[in-house]
């Protein structure tokens, strides 16, 4: 779908979410926000952590363990 006309609009939307609307932490903030965990989601600091993995729904379970209901 990268060669579709809508792709540019989609990329702009995603980039603006982070840079303009600050809906995600900046790269330099991630380690501080994460603390002892590998990423902010596992630390319970943000609601979603996008990844490059397909079917990665349970990937963070080993870090989250039973800390959240």
Task: Read off the pLDDT of each residue in 29-53 and give the average, rounded to a whole number.
Answer: 81
> CA separation (Å) from 16 to 13, 33, 60?
5, 21, 26
User: Which band of pLDDT confidence, cut at 50, 70 and 90, is reported for residue 53?
Assistant: low
Q: What φ, ψ does residue 13 adopt, rounded to 5°? A: -60, -50
Could you tell me the pTM of the whole model? Answer: 0.54
pLDDT in tens, 10-30: 889 888 988 898 888 888 888
User: Which band of pLDDT confidence, cut at 50, 70 and 90, is reported for residue 51?
Assistant: low
Q: What CA–CA distance (Å, rounded) separates 33 from 9? A: 30
């Amino acid at each position: 779908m990268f060669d579709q006309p809508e792709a540019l609009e989609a990329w702009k939307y995603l980039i603006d979410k982070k840079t303009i609307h600050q809906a995600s932490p900046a790269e330099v903030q991630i380690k501080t926000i994460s603390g002892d965990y590998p990423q902010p989601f596992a630390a319970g600091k943000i609601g979603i952590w996008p990844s490059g993995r397909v079917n990665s729904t349970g990937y963070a379970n080993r870090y989250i363990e039973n800390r959240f209901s």
